[in-house]
Every structure is written in C-alpha cells, then in structure tokens.
Structure 1
C-alpha cells in the first residue's frame, strides 16, 4: 500500500508540473522554444581558437581518482601580468624597435592577456616561425623595411599559408584577389600564388612600401593594411586635426581598432613567452634555408614524388602550398620547393623517366 501511495503522490506532482508549464505566458514559452534555434555567431579568423579556450575555462580537466586535481606546476601558463611590468617590457621592446609604435595602454594590456590565454597554441606558432621568420626577415631587409613587420603575418593568418578569410582573403599575408593581382600574384585553377609564402611575402613588402609612402606613419600603415588605404584616408580627411592611430581610434572600423593592439600584443608574446611558461614545442623539422627550387621537366604528382624521394606528402604540401591540385604540369611558372638534400635525387629520378613511367593524367 505504501508503494502505491508513493506512486500516486509522484503522479500528482508530475501532473501539477505539466499544468504549471502549460499555463506559462505565450511570450515566455516562445522564448524557450526559440533559444536552441538562435543563430550562432561566427568567429573572426583571428579568434578561431577561442572556442577551445572556452572549453578549457568552463570544462576543466576531471579530477583524479583520489579526488585531487591533477597539477603540473612547471607547465602552468602565466596568463596575466602586472601593469608596471608589462609597461616596462613594452617600453624595452620599443627602444629596440625600428617602427617605434609599441606602447602601453589598457587596450594593449587586454590584448596581451587574450593571447596569453591561448599560450599552448602560441607554442605551435613559435615552432612555425622557426621556418618562416628567416625568410620574412630576409625579404624585409631586401626592401629596407622594419623586421617587426613579420609579426603582421601572425595577426593575419597565424602563419597558416592556405587559410581563407570569410571575405576571400588568402594566404599568410591575407591578400584579396584584386590586390594580389596588382602585386603580380597569379591565380588560376592550378595554383594560387597568394598561398606561396615567398612570392606573397615579396608582394607584402612592396605593399608596405606603397602604404608608407602614402601614410608616412607606421600605425596608419598597419591600419590601412587591415582596412584598406581608401578607408583610412577618408577617416583622416574627416578628422584632419587628428594625425595618428590612437587619436583616430574611435572613428576606425571595429576590426581595425583591434589590429594594432594585436600587433603590439603578439610582439610582446613572441619575445616574452618564456617568462609566461608558454611551451616551446620541438622546433619545426623543416628549415627554409635548407630548401631550394627545382624546375619541372615532366608533369609530376606530389603523391608519387613523396614515395620517389621518401619525403612525406604533408611536407611536400607544406613546402608547396600554392598548388591547388596534386599533379603539377610542365611550364615556365611551375617550380617545386624541396629539401636541398633531396634535389639531386629528384633530378636523378627525372632522368630515369620515373614520373613519365607513372602515366600521370589530369
């Protein structure tokens, strides 16, 4: 009898809850129903790793069987910094800087700590920079440009040579197709030279020179690189009494407002990552100066080349990100970047007719 009474009592409670729910105002019910269908805001390219960051914040690691949190004190990333210490370090960087735009304010501080919270991912960027930065610095020096401009590539693409923005910008330096063509970056169904790290870096250098000749101010050059020179020139014309980025800050597009803070923040993080215990992953196994270009006398498949040279397919794709297809045809414009130690083997395989025997067809 007791069991039956308990069941009856439970059913009465359940019925009461159902009636109470049904009696809610229509507006309240509608908001509950529409909640799951609310549009999900897309992330900006420079924040594609924020979702993972949120997971770490809101879903921390599970406790161990003993009930204590697993702790590795040596690996704890320091994600914040005192005002005076950050101010001092940024001033120190600015004294060594060629562009002298590294300064401290609360916006910069927030941007620095935002990057620090993505510390483990910064470790991967550090590893990739080991390959890209020597080449960037070489090209910037050739064009007599400040070497700090190499950090723009991190702000733009996180050193991802094949990334595409929602607006259609492409490659490490995020060229739109129109601007790319102005700077002689060819685009067709076989290759996109905006993805070529070397050619796009040379185009970026020429574009930086052009912008500096127009703007005469490195802060405004970077703002123009982000928003377009036309947009920045219109803002300057409307506010002629204001001549620098921070005095124009409130009138700039939202993304451009954050652009120079990000640039200064990534300057800081890439120079002071050790002080924040950011892990430095094993250095990237490919070195730019240990690679070279070879012309193609026979059309070649990257997959067959991988087996012929005993080089991983992933490495070949990394070294030749401009190619949109696996099979590279013969032509004046078609070159392959290979590890130098494999170039003689490539030429030997070519003389043997190795690639011709593979009967590669488009």
Structure 2
C-alpha cells in the first residue's frame, strides 16, 4: 500500500478525530477549557499511537499546559512535530457555530487554526509506524498559549527543537503552500499622562493627554515602511473621563510587523524618541518583540527542497510562501535550525467566521508529512 492510499483510507477516522477536538473548545484565556482540550488531545494521541516512550507536561500557570510525547524511531535522530491547541474563539462559540462538513468543506471554531493540523500530526506518526517505514524518533509538542504569543511555551519549544533533524509546524498552509517566511511581531503600548482640568472653566490649566497622543499616533504610524516589509498598526486607543475634562491619561496599543531584524532596531528607536510638544505631558512605552522574523536560513531551505521532492514523488507540486502572521516557527528559525511551517490544513478564514478546511487535501498533507519524516531517516 502506498503512503497516499493509506492516508486516504484513514480519512474517515481523521475526520472523527477532528470533530472530537473541535467540539472541546479551547479559548486561550479559559484555563478550564484548555485543561479539557489537552486531555482530549492526549487521549486521542494515546488511542491512535499507544503509550509514548516518554511523556512530559509543563505547567502553563494561567495559560494552557505544554505536553510533550516522544515515540521512538527506527533510525537515528528526532523530528519535532509542533502544534497549538488553543484558539481565539471564546467558550460558547460552538452554540451557534457547530462543527459541520458539507460539500467537502469542514467548518467550526478552530478547525483551520489549527485542530486539523494536530490530527494530521498524530496520524502521520501512525502512518509511519503502520506502514513500517524507516523514520527517526518523533516528539509531539502541543502548547496552549500560541494565540497570545506563547509566553509560557516559548522556552519549551526552543528546547525541543535543539538537536533535531527538523521541526515541522502544523499551522495551516497558505492555499497549500508551506510558510517559509513569516514576519516578526512587536506588541507595544504607549501611555501619555497629562494634566486634568475643567475644559470650560480653566482650559489653560490642562494638558490634554488625548490631544498629545493624537499627534504621537501620526508619528507612530509613519514608522511603517512597506517597502522594507514593515507595517505599523495602531489598533487600540482609549483615554479621558469626560467631554468637559482635559484628559489626564490616554493610551494606544500598537502592532508592528517586520521582515528584517534591522527594522526591529529602527522601531525601538522610534518608540524611545517619542515626546509630547507640551513639557507637562509625559510619554512612556511598554511592550516587547513577541516573535522575531522567520527568514529562510540554509537548513530550512534544504528542508524545503526535501519536502518538494517528497511532494513531487507523490504526484503534486509543493510551493512556498511568505506571510505576515507569526507562529512558534519564528522562534525555531531565529535559532538557525531547520523548520517548515504551514504543514497543516488547506482552507481559509483563520480567526474569522468563515474559517474552513478543504477535506480532500487532508490525506495529501498527511502523506507529505509521512514521506518527509521517513526521508529524514
């Protein structure tokens, strides 16, 4: 039996497993839901793969825990299969948006980002073993805080990727293409503190923080440089206590995306140099670079060529793409290690109500992983 034939025969059971995971909601900020979701994921892996040779669970605190499962191979080395089980969808979303499959399209909260990918990773390991293919050892790592920047899981992801032959990230693809380049992400908050005063009785006594922030927003937004791959978005703004009060406090939240490490330094200097025209007004900036850029390093480029060769041997063409979103693959790439992202589902609508997966592509993506991991042996 070929890898493709095996994967297509497995599709009905894979769809059942995807339904199981989607119907256990896992919002990033709902610890109880994350605990239930990880239990369902662990049980699913154990059912399909048997007990792991090694199991490690890292406490996520108020976020989702990190689970690592290791299965031995028949050849030296190890491959990391990485995926997050948290979603952006608040608990209760399933009530008016249930899991469904119709006309070859599968929908439901988190089905594309990225519960289909989790199932594909598990079934790829099952396929390697069931088909008797040579393969390195496999480490599955599931984290529950990716959608909020992986504040707890980052060191575990980085540690798990060290010394591996490859790291495969089961985030959704871009219309089938692997994501070999991703932008780095910076999340910053600008706080402006002024002097409150009555807007009618004593306007000169006030130093309006909102007015000052309005001027700074223009300067912040001008820091974007699309020609360099840098975008700056002021997505949140708040302040003031009343129409007739010179605002004493105003804040804005800023999302920065960069393709080049040098741009991080330039943006840092931009924020460090923010000052208001009125000397009575103070400006402070908090936040950090949540993820570095993911740029194609030589080991990753070689790994992509290997994946292309596997796809060609299976009868289809694999392409690569650069995207603006970030993932845990950014951390691994920044270490200079081989990583491929977008191994997961084919579909569209991440973080949107039209989130969906094209069912016919699930066997193909699973077969790609089976073939690639075996080739690494």
Bin for the TM-score computed over the shorter chain = under 0.3
Name the structure where strand makes up a greater proportion of residues. 2
TM-score (norm. length: structure 1):
0.23
Between structure 1 and structure 2, the one with the greater Rg is: 1
Name the structure where helix makes up a greater proportion of residues. 1
Point out which structure has higher relative CO (alpha carbons under 8 A, 6+ apart): 2
